[in-house]
Amino acid sequence: MSYDDVEIEDMEWNESLTAYTYPCPCGDLFQITKAELKIGEEFARCPSCSLYIRVIYN
């Protein structure tokens, strides 16, 4: 089960990571790339902990 559902519009594009990001409670960022979205990935993962969010993208 995901930590939260987040609209893509609520995420921020991070040019240096080339990914959409969203703050994680651990202090790092959930991340998902445009390429991942294009192939149908819907979960953004945090690289520092085990949490992930479901990205709502139409």
pTM value is: 0.91
| 56 CB-near residues (< 8 Å, 6+ apart) | 5, 6, 7, 8
The answer to whether residues 46 and 30 touch, using CB atoms and an 8 Å cutoff, is yes
5-56 is classed CATH 3.10.660.10 = yes
Asked if pLDDT for residue 44 goes beyond 90, the answer is: yes
| 1 CB-near residues (< 8 Å, 6+ apart) | none
Task: Report residue 41 as tokens.
Answer: 């990935």
The answer to whether residues 25 and 51 touch, using CB atoms and an 8 Å cutoff, is yes
**pLDDT tier, 2 (very low <50, low <70, confident <90, very high otherwise):** confident
Give, in order, the Cα–Cα distances in Å from 29 to each of 44, 48, 53, 55: 9, 8, 11, 14
- Which residue ranges make up each domain of the chain? 5-56
